[in-house]
Amino acid sequence: MKTHHLHGWQASVSQAFDIQRKLAARVSRTSEINEPRLIAGVDISVSRARSMATGAVVVVDYPALELVEMKTVDGKLDFPYIPGLLSFRESPLALAAFGKLAATPDLILVDGQGLAHPRRLGLASHLGLLLDTPTIGCAKSRLCGSYEEPDVAPGSYTGLVDNGEVIGAVLRTKTAINPLYVSIGHKVDLETAIGWVLACCRGYRIPEPLRLAHLAAGGNLKEKEFAPAHEMNC
């Protein structure tokens, strides 16, 4: 996949904050998802002892959600761990993995926040802008905002609110299991984002593309060769 160069990665904390604020204004909250045939999931597994990590991207077909392609990249994390600046720490590895893909996904699910972020530019939104592709933030924990607990039934959700603005949804994907924090990444509206997260769940708490990406990043999913995208009529 092609990456759009929007800024450099060698930035101080204050410069990173400024970049986030500027890029947040470019995030599209209008859905451009139209019957996606290929959906990607991206996750990063960090080895804290060595400041090393593995970035993994998997691509599945829809609606079968069967694995089409998988790429991983190992590398050093150059940016320090700072809450709210995860995208500056993890994006380079994720982009390197995306750069190895033969297939071009129509939609990307990201293990991280989108607009549900203090400056409205979490990892999902940042990657969406850099890849110019619809993205959805699907996080297992909350970064900011307040909410009321959703009903225990799958598909139930409540709004995640920060400073009077709805920045995401607290979504139950499995009965009586901790909810996920879903938010707009880029080129999607919140209702559509919720719908696609639910459509990609197959009995687990997290949607299948992210479940597979998590396994791949942890070295628990074997990489293999796949047919080029044009051979799959993608």
pLDDT score, position 140: 96
Q: Does residue 122 belong to any structural domain of this protein? A: yes
**Whether pLDDT at 230 is above 60:** no
Domain count, the chain: 1
The alpha carbon of residue 225 and the mean position of all alpha carbons in its chain are separated, in whole angstroms, by: 24
Task: Give the C-alpha separation, 140 to 205, whole Å.
Answer: 9
Q: Does residue 7 belong to any structural domain of this protein? A: no
Which range of residues forms the domain containing residue 110?
14-137+184-223
Q: Which two tokens stand for residue 80?
A: 């320090």
> For residue 210, what pLDDT band results from cuts at 50, 70 and 90?
very high
Task: Give the C-alpha separation, 189 to 32, whole Å.
Answer: 9
**CATH at 215:** 3.30.2170.10
pLDDT score, position 233: 34
Stated as kind and residue range, the H or E segment containing 88 is: helix 86-99
154 — alpha (psi -120 to 50), left (phi > 0) or beta?
A: beta
pLDDT score, position 165: 98
Q: Does residue 103 belong to any structural domain of this protein? A: yes
pTM to 2 decimal places:
0.93
Q: Does residue 59 belong to any structural domain of this protein? A: yes
Q: Does residue 115 belong to any structural domain of this protein? A: yes
pLDDT score, position 51: 76
Mapped to the 3 state alphabet, what secondary structure does 1-28 carry?
Answer: CCCCCCCCCCCCHHHHHHHHHHHHCCCC
Q: Does residue 47 belong to any structural domain of this protein? A: yes
pLDDT score, position 232: 38
Supply the DSSP symbol for 171. E
pLDDT tens-digit readout, 77-103: 989 999 999 999 999 999 999 999 999
Q: Any bridge partners for residue 108, and if so which? A: 40, 135
Q: Does residue 153 belong to any structural domain of this protein? A: no
Number of neighbouring beta carbons within 10 Å of residue 28: 16
Q: Does residue 212 belong to any structural domain of this protein? A: yes
Task: Give the C-alpha separation, 211 to 178, whole Å.
Answer: 16
